[in-house]
């Protein structure tokens, strides 16, 4: 189990470093950012959905059986994050959209921190089950974090923060990932409770993020060539996770 803690800690540090990638928006310019952001979103969606379907859910089914229990836990995860997002949007609509930047930035940081906590729990639970499952889950998480951090950084600066302050808060909001990851590995090492249901709930989160949050972003008006590129990026993320899950040996 000490190996799982080491891997989870390294992944937590990696996520913290990726949280600083938002600074790239200061150098890319709006045109270049738009050119790379949607392909990254498509890649992220494919990676998240692929990890949920080809990596996390099969691992849960192996431990809970081939019945409906694993799918029920995954569905619960989907519903939980759907409900959370509805509450966030409802609260944001109450605050208004033009003259209330400070509450908006707080919501962004709160949502990002919670997302990182869930991601850490998912990666920690995955490493407690096997290194291959953990690494594949982490790859999907990182693929999602890069475009996510680019968008969050821009939102925080637009909400009135200075770039340095936005970077600091982005970094701090990434720390719950490490907390969640270590909590999951500690729970797995000190109790006989199976973390398979937690991994299934996290799979529901990954599937929700990919299918509901990210894919609709690709439906904006864009040239047919760009749309075809988005499909290929999505397939690359999906197939990449599938290939990775086959290639990495699953040593428990």
Spatial distance between the Cα atoms of 158 and 146, rounded to a whole number of angstroms: 19
What's residue 252's pLDDT?
Answer: 43
Spatial distance between the Cα atoms of 242 and 235, rounded to a whole number of angstroms: 10
Instruction: Say yes or no to pLDDT of 161 above 80.
Output: no
Collapsing DSSP states into helix, strand and coil, what is residue 194?
A: coil
Spatial distance between the Cα atoms of 121 and 126, rounded to a whole number of angstroms: 8
Q: Look at the chain and count its residues.
A: 252
Mean local confidence (pLDDT), 93-117: 62
Highest mean pLDDT among 48-57, 161-170, 211-220: 48-57
Task: Write down the domain spans for the chain.
Answer: 2-247
Instruction: Say yes or no to pLDDT of 131 above 70.
Output: yes
**Lowest mean per-residue pLDDT among 24-38, 74-88, 168-182:** 24-38
What's residue 98's pLDDT?
Answer: 42
What's residue 78's pLDDT?
Answer: 93
Pick from 102, 205, 111, 117: which is nearest to 158 by CA? Answer: 102
Cβ contacts of residue 57 below 8 Å, gap of 6+?
Answer: 70, 71, 74, 200, 203
pTM value is 0.79
pLDDT tier for residue 73 given thresholds of 50, 70 and 90? very high
């Amino acid at each position: 189990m000490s190996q799982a803690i080491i891997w989870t800690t390294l992944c937590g540090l990696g996520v913290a470093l990726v949280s600083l990638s938002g600074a790239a928006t200061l150098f890319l310019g709006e045109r270049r950012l738009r050119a790379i952001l949607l392909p990254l979103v498509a890649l992220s969606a494919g990676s998240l959905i692929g990890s949920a379907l080809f990596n996390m859910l099969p691992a849960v089914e192996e431990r809970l059986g081939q019945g409906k229990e694993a799918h029920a836990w995954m569905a619960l995860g989907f519903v939980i994050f759907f409900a959370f997002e509805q509450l966030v949007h409802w609260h944001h609509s109450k605050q208004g959209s033009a003259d209330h930047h400070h509450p908006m930035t707080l919501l962004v940081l709160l949502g990002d921190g919670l997302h990182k906590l869930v991601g850490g729990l998912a990666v920690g639970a995955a490493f407690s089950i096997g290194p291959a499952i953990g690494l594949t889950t982490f790859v999907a998480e990182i693929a999602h974090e890069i475009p996510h951090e680019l968008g969050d950084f821009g939102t925080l600066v637009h909400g009135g923060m200075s770039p340095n302050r936005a970077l600091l808060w982005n970094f701090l909001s990434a720390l719950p990932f490490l907390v969640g990851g270590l909590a999951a590995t500690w729970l797995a090492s000190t109790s006989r409770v199976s973390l398979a249901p937690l991994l299934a709930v996290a799979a529901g989160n990954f599937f929700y993020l990919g299918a509901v949050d990210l894919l609709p972003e690709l439906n904006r008006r864009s040239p047919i060539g760009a749309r075809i590129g988005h499909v290929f990026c999505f397939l690359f993320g999906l197939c990449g996770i599938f290939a990775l899950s086959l290639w990495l040996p699953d040593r428990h």
